[in-house]
Amino acid sequence: MFSRLTRPQTIAVCALPVVALLATAVFAPLPFSVAHPGETANVLGEHKGTPVITISGRRPGTPVGSCG
């Protein structure tokens, strides 16, 4: 069924899948970030004695509502 291939033909046949895989790896879209569980941070508290989030230019308002 298959005739004997010459050396250049064999190299071409073997190189074709390698080039196709490399082209796919280069042009495949990749995510910019990876979504997986990680370290959490308490942004409502303090870190080393200073608030994590600060807002300037506004006076704090009175909380409205109830829990429960």
| % of residues, the chain, pLDDT over 70 | 91
Report how far residue 59's alpha carbon sits from residue 45's, in angstroms, rounded to the nearest whole number. 19
Q: Which of 68, 47, 51 is nearest to 60 (CA)?
A: 51
18-47 average pLDDT score: 81
Alpha-carbon separation of residue 65 from 30, 47, 62, 68 (angstroms) = 45, 28, 10, 10
49 vs 29: which has the higher pLDDT? 49
Specify whether the CB–CB gap between 46 and 54 falls below 8 A.
no
Is the pLDDT score of 41 beyond 80? no
pTM for the structure as a whole: 0.39
pLDDT of residue 34: 66
Whether 36 has a pLDDT exceeding 60, the answer reads yes
Instruction: With CA atoms as reference, report the closest residue to 41 among 31, 26, 52.
Output: 52
